[in-house]
Structure 1
Amino acid sequence: MLTDVSDHKRLIVLRHGKAAYPPVPDHERPLAQRGNTEAPAAGRWLVEQGYYPDLIITSDAVRTRQTTTWVLNELGDKAPTPYLDSRLYMAPVTRVLSVINEVEEQVRTLMLVGHMPWVQELGMRLASTESNEDAVLNMAERYPTLGMMVFDVPGEWASLDGRDANMTHFVVPR
């Protein structure tokens, strides 16, 4: 049976912008000047594609919160209030999947803002055989700061687990 694409959901996964390395705990590291300059491009790319998240869940680390703020500025009036989730900091990919699995089904477009290595590990785990091959290869080869994946998710958030989402894009907007 063919699935109606209008029933599909969208998952957007963004790695934070370029971080600075001041003498503070890792969790408290802010964006570097380059990160602050480039981060709005991620939000502009979303707007250009017409991708407006219903829900944004971000790691509670300073650099992810700052990246999210830049994205929200670009989304303008269509920006949701982000949810900070401490479980996304230093997370194994299984914990990230648990966070996704808890999302309410009425959320059509979910965005996560997080860190390496889980952003890349999540992409490797979720990408189905129907995914855009170039997007998957580029993501697997190198996942720089502000790297962003977009997935078409045909099922429920609660059942998302592995090889069951179609990666449509991997971009590094700058």
Structure 2
Amino acid sequence: MPEEKQRRIVLVRHAKSDWPDVDDHDRPLAERGRKAAPAAGRWLADQGLTPDLALVSTAVRTRQTWALMAAELPAEPETVYDERLYDIGFGEQLIALLTETPDDVGTLLVLGHNPVIHEAADTLAGEAEDDGQLARMRGRFPTAAIAVLAFRGPWRRVGPDVARLTAYRTPKDAV
């Protein structure tokens, strides 16, 4: 039987947002977020993690985060702005959305909001290359944090405990 293809899921929480008097969907990035987002993109590039496809929430802060991150990548990935990522309520719903990913995608980046991004990372990670990183990721998922998970098989089989956490990065790691 041939070996199943390895796939990667890159889960990203949007960078730090500002709190002006606008609807939640329209909140922009704060100054701290405008600094953290390009650093996150550089980290992805340094790790060789240019996604084949990026699914991004339609909220202003996530679109701004992605624009600053993507500018640091060696190639511009296909990007889909999906309104479901803004309103999604639970990590399990996000995981169900991942099963819709076309099988020609090897690395998928999902940029969204907490608590859903954190819940999905926690639910997917059945093991880790570094138990300390897994404990850190499970403990907190701050703005501009990134969890990289790997699994083998088709996207339709994504589910609880199917993936291995291969990397976890927060903005404080870059300091």
Same fold (TM over 0.5): yes
8 Å CA contact retained: 2:145, 2:170: yes
Are 2:54 and 1:87 equivalent residues in the alignment?
no
Cα separation, 2, equivalents of 1:2 and 1:151:
22
Partner of 2:149: 151
Distance 1:141 1:94 in 2: 19
Instruction: Check the 8 A contact 2:37/2:65 in 1, yes or no.
Output: yes
Q: How many pairs are equivalent?
A: 171
Length-normalised TM-score, structure 2: 0.92
Deviation at 1:2, TM superposition (A): 9.4
Does the 8 Å CA contact 1:90/1:115 hold for their aligned counterparts?
no
| Displacement of 1:97 | 1.3
1:140 maps to a residue whose letter is R
In 2: Cα distance, 1:2 partner to 1:137 partner: 34
User: Counterparts of 1:129 and 1:148 in 2: how far apart (Å)?
Assistant: 16
Partners of 2:142 and 2:2 lie apart in 1 by 36
**Runs of 4+ with deviation above 4 angstroms:** 1-4
How far apart are the structure 1 equivalents of 2:162 and 2:21?
41
Gaps of 5+ in 2: none
Work out whether residues 52 and 78 of structure 2, in 8 Å CA contact, stay in contact via their aligned partners in 1: no
Give 1:122 shift.
Answer: 0.5
Residues 87 and 95 of structure 1 are in contact (CA less than 8 Å); yes or no, is this contact kept in structure 2?
no
Q: Which runs of 5+ in 1 are unaligned?
A: none
Partners of 2:138 and 2:128 lie apart in 1 by: 16
Change (3 A) 1:151 1:2: farther
Provide the C-alpha distance between the structure 1 equivalents of 2:20 and 2:78, rounded to a whole number of angstroms: 29
Preserved CA contact (<8 Å) 2:51 2:108: yes
Q: Aligned-pair distance for 1:59?
A: 0.6
